[in-house]
Amino acid sequence: MLHIGTKHVDITDGFWKKRQDINKDITVKAVQNRFLETGRFDAFDFTNEKIAHIFYDSDVAKWIEGVSFILHKERNSELEAFIDRIVDLIEKNRSDDGYYNSHFLRKPEERWQHRSDHELYCAGHLMEAAVQYYKATGKDKFLKLMEDYADYIYKVFITEKSAAFKTPGHEEIELALVKMYDTTGKKKYLELSKHFIDRRGVEEEPWIGSNYNRYNTQDFLPVRQQRTAEGHAVRASYLYSGMADIAYRYKDKELLAACKAIFSNIVNKRMYITGGTGSSYLGEAYTLDYDLPNTKGYAETCAAIALAFFAQRMLLSDADSVYADTVERIIYNGMLSGVSLDGKAFFYENPLEIQPVLNNRNVATTLTERNAVTQRKEVFGCSCCPPNVIRFIGAINEYIYSYNKDTLFINQFISSNLEYENIRAEISTEFPNCGKVYIKVSGINKVAVRKPYWCKYLKLVINDVRSKYSSKKGYIYINLPKGQNRIRLEMDITPRLVYSNPKVYDNSHKTAVMRGPVVYCAEAVDNDFPLNNIVFGKELNYKTVKSDQLDAYMLDVDIKIPQSIDDLYTFTPFKYRKKTLRMIPYYCFANRGETEMRVWL
């Protein structure tokens, strides 16, 4: 399987066109300004008194990569000049051996000494940025600089073994090196990636600083023996993405088996309904099976994005809809919640429940318990998520189409045009606001369309004739008869009640609502009664209401709530009264001021 890249796919209209426009017109500039204010760009000219933070390079690199996805479709001389200057600074300031790091070039004696300090992570992000900037603009200076850097890293870690550690403390370079290989054809980058993966967990490596154990960095076992998702969720899913890449390119069944087991562990036991992962703020980490607390849920935006990377790469080796289903769960929920509707503010963490009143819990002491942030911020110190959102939304084109032998796969329902070799395709849809998807193809007669997990009824119409179908591993395989090129999907997106596995401790007796792939939530700002103890009917009675403010469909759902009582405890069963609960898409939460929010009701 091959994913068809940004270059070949245009997003034409609908849900994602709007998001990409906001991304391009607002978010790119907003993040650029925050990075200018915080000295992240200045770090590259080495005139600052203050030494750059160890992760500044990666923030800037992700922003460049995000901008590059946009440049694919619309060149921009101002942004390119800005980026070219950074590339020039890298060229000017790098070491003769090809090394570049804004932090460690100012502490040369510490180069490759601290496994904990994101050195290879920053290198990886710079490589990803260079690859994408080259693909978008054809300018190869940045890519060449990064080839030198990658060659040098190969020398340090494979030829000379001269670093104080053997594998990255924060994984990321594994998948970046695969992109370097794909772009340059140099096999040694693939070897280096595989080397980092195969060395990982073979022995305990030195670590400086606290907050570390071998679970947190996924090196508690050699990765081929791992079967559960552990530790820092972003590091973990970046590693798993690299593993899936290597498993695919080397046809490495053992590594693929590890990837499959880990993926299964995530989606069947350790993932929020929103696609968020890493339920603990401590270590930003995966914890235990079924431990998915709502108010305390961390679910970092970057972890959702990283899981989408992993899922998308698993699809390369295994045409199973669970992977594109997972991407879909993430893009309409736990990733998209990371950015405000206006594109200017960001969540680092994405809890499934916010109780603002509990932030006052510590009135009686100066000690405070950690509470989830209730509002998106325009800037934060550890700013990995904002540029990650930019590059992810910028690259959404890559998640739609795949190609395998003679079959075109349609993984996501996004209005778009495809031109790939002699294949043409066009998707037109208001999805996820509507369940109808119109597809036209030419140059190929075999099409595989994903049947989403949430879809109870799907009607398939080929050239205006309703067709029977069966599905295999979640894909409907269609052989278009000669002269027929129009496929229409009518998917039932009627809102449905969702229940979590009874083992999920925090969702005991609770219910959620989804409409198609979109998880809904209730906010206090829309409802003049407590959101506690809400009881849904056995069937969901609802009205759909268009919100111009949110540019989304809200649901007005018939529910019951207990009548309020004075007693703290009572032997009298609650009397219930009927109410209408307004629900909004989860990705729209916290766009109207601080307010209580709940997904599980």
Q: Does 239 bind a second copy (CB under 8 A)?
A: no
CB of 500 to a second copy, least distance (A): 5
Q: Which of 108, 120, 6, 116 is nearest to 58 (CA)?
A: 120
Both tokens of 353, joined, read: 């429940």
Q: From residue 157 to residue 196, what is the string marking binding to a second copy with x (rule CB under 8 A)?
A: ----------------------------------------
366 HSE (CA, 13 A, CB side):
0
- Please tell me whether residue 497 binds a second copy under the rule CB under 8 A: yes
Please pick, from the candidates 472, 505, 549, 577, the single residue that binds a second copy as defined by CB under 8 A: 505
Instruction: Choose, by CB under 8 A, the member of 267, 303, 400, 597 that binds a second copy.
Output: 267
Handedness of CA 179, 59, 592, 305 (dihedral sign): positive
Q: Which of residues 39-98 bind a second copy (CB under 8 A)?
A: none
Q: Which of 2, 164, 288, 545 binds a second copy (CB under 8 A)?
A: 288
269 binds a second copy (CB under 8 A): yes
The verdict on 203 binding a second copy (CB under 8 A) reads no
Residue type present at position 102: S
Q: How many residues bind a second copy (CB under 8 A)?
A: 69
Neighbours of 52 (CB within 10 A): 23
Look at residue 49 and give its three-state secondary structure: coil
Kindly give, in sequence order, each residue whose CB lies less than 8 Å from that of residue 574, ignoring residues fewer than 6 positions away. 533, 562, 563, 565
Specify the residue, 222 or 562, whose C-beta has the smaller distance to a second copy: 562
CA atoms within 13 A on the CB side of 346: 25
| Both tokens assigned to 522 | 């209730």
Which of 500, 522, 588, 599 is the binder for a second copy (CB under 8 A)? 500
Contact 198/217 with Cβ under 8 angstroms? no
Instruction: Please give the structure tokens belonging to residue 530.
Output: 């407590």
User: Distance between CA atoms of 589 and 580, rounded to whole angstroms?
Assistant: 19
520 binds a second copy (CB under 8 A): no
Task: Report whether 242 contacts 178 (CB < 8 A).
Answer: yes
Per the CB < 8 A criterion, the answer to whether 590 and 567 are in contact is no
Q: Measured from the CB atom, is 287 or 397 closer to a second copy?
A: 287
- Show the binding pattern over residues 547-576: x = contacts a second copy (CB under 8 A), - = does not: --------------xx-xxxxxxxxxxx--
The distance of closest approach from Cβ of residue 118 to a second copy in the complex, given in angstroms and rounded to an integer, is 17
Q: Is 457 in the site for a second copy (CB under 8 A)?
A: no
Residue of 168, 231, 242, 386 interacting with a second copy (CB under 8 A): 231
Pick the binder of a second copy from 459, 510, 560, 579 (CB under 8 A). Answer: 510
Stretch binding a second copy (CB under 8 A), from 76-84, 145-153, 168-176, 279-287: 279-287
Window contacting a second copy (CB under 8 A); options: 10-18, 36-44, 265-273, 583-591: 265-273
- Is 261 a residue that touches a second copy (CB under 8 A)? no
Which is closer to a second copy, CB of 46 or CB of 290? Answer: 290
What is the rounded distance in angstroms from the CA atom of residue 471 to the CA atom of residue 174? 34
Is 468 near a second copy (CB under 8 A)? no
Nearer to a second copy (CB atom), residue 499 or residue 543: 499
Type of residue numbered 470: S
Residues 468-474: contacts with CB under 8 Å, at least 24 apart: 471/321, 473/318, 473/319, 473/320, 473/321, 474/320, 474/321, 474/322, 474/325, 474/450
Please give the Cα distance from 378 to 447 (Å, whole number).
43
459: left (phi over 0), alpha (psi -120 to 50) or beta: beta
Q: Whose Cβ is closer to a second copy: residue 210's or residue 422's?
A: 210
Burial of 387 (0-12, 13-18, 19+ CB in 10 A): buried
Cβ-based neighbour number of residue 364 at 10 Å: 6
Pick between residue 272 and residue 348 the one whose CB is nearest to a second copy: 272
With contacts defined by CB under 8 A, name the span among 28-36, 339-347, 358-366, 440-448 that binds a second copy: 358-366
Nearest alpha carbon to residue 581 among 561, 553, 563, 596? 561
Residues that bind a second copy (CB under 8 A): 210-213, 215-216, 230-232, 267-269, 271, 273, 280, 282-283, 285-288, 290-291, 355, 357-358, 360-369, 454, 456, 496-505, 508-510, 512, 530, 532-533, 538, 561-562, 564-574
